[in-house]
Structure 1
Amino acid sequence: MPAIQTAYFEEVTFPETSVIRFERGLPGFEHETEFVSISREDCEPLIFLQSVKTPKLCFVTMPVQPLCPDYRVDMQSDELEALGLAEGQPPSIGSELACLAIISVTEDGPPTANLMAPLVIHVSTSRAVQVIQSNPAYELRHPVGGVACS
């Protein structure tokens, strides 16, 4: 089983089949294409996306549903293609797709979630893409309450 050294979780082993692949990278991190998901019981519902290549790169995320129960992700044809989904096939968050919001923490404010640009992962193939939402109801800094690690 492969292992990576991380800055925050020491050494992490994982099955190769669990690697989440962003074939186009992420905005600002175009060369970072492979991540592993790390969940800790004491930090639920947070999910850490650790770069396979860069030990210090780890995104703190959480599912969008607890933040916005009626959240809908609108995807363009190229985004559907990147996930291996057919155009016209409405994606289903929860069973088919995981939809994660990146969490930001600042020194002078509470944590916030980026609902404007969620990370969408096709659960069965582990292919992923960051989707820029056009819905003005979704905020870049949506308040997050009651989430902390012990």
Structure 2
Amino acid sequence: MNNLIIETLSMGKLEVNEDQIYHFPKGIPGFEEETDFALIHMSESPFWVLQSLKEQELSFLLGDPFVFYPSYEFELPDDEAEELGIESEVLVRCIITLKEQIEASSINLLAPIVLNPTGRTGKQIVLHRAPYHTKHNLLQEQPAIDGKDGG
């Protein structure tokens, strides 16, 4: 397993291994020329950083949408699954826009990042005919603590 040192703006130099590197054949909308990213889990949190291997300034904060919106679901179109070579395993992450006030932060549920952890390919997929939009409140659908409101 080869390790790679990558430069990041927010986290300095990082060592990543091959299984953290994902190829986005079509890039990410707005960054089509960036096709290789490292997926870095921020330990003990539901957050990841998707860091470009070429451009140290380019990274996206990702979250596990099912942590923030347990009822989140969508059907992956067959052609998208085929393009990514997905047979069974799939990882879904969504781009998070952090604001100074965490309450104002949002998660993009309309265009999830879909990853094939086996073939290590990825794509941002825009869900047509889905009830989601690009700026869902990050802290909206939190389960009540102990089943009581206002805990």
TM-score, scaled to structure 1:
0.81
Structure 2 equivalent of residue 100 of structure 1: 93
Structure 1 equivalent of residue 27 of structure 2: 25
Structure 1 equivalent of residue 53 of structure 2: 52
Question: Compared with structure 1, are the counterparts of its residues 120 and 135 closer, same or farther at alpha carbon in structure 2 (3 Å cutoff)?
Answer: same
* Cα drift, residue 107 of structure 1: 5.4
Equivalent position SS for 2:96: strand
| Counterpart check, 1:117 vs 2:111 | yes
Equivalent position SS for 2:111: strand
* Cα drift, residue 73 of structure 1: 2.8
Cα distance in 2, alignment partners of residues 141 and 79 from structure 1: 23
| Deviations 1:9-42, CA, capped at 9 Å, x for gaps | 1111112232111111111000111111122226
Higher relative contact order (CA 8 A, sep 6+): 1
Equivalent position SS for 1:81: helix
Cα distance in 2, alignment partners of residues 69 and 46 from structure 1: 15
Give the greater-gyration-radius structure (CA). 2
Cα distance in 2, alignment partners of residues 40 and 64 from structure 1: 15
Aligned residues with identical type, % of pairs:
28
| Deviations 1:36-92, CA, capped at 9 Å, x for gaps | 1122226x1111111101001110010111122232233334322221136xxxx6x
Match of 2:38 among 36, 53, 74: 36
Once superposed, what is the RMSD of the aligned Cα atoms?
A: 2.1
Aligned length: 137
| Counterpart check, 1:137 vs 2:131 | yes
Match of 2:4 among 2, 5, 18: 2
Cα distance in 1, alignment partners of residues 43 and 123 from structure 2: 26
Q: Which consecutive residues of structure 1, in runs of 5 or more, have no partner in the other structure?
A: none
Q: Letter of the aligned partner of 1:31 in structure 2?
A: E
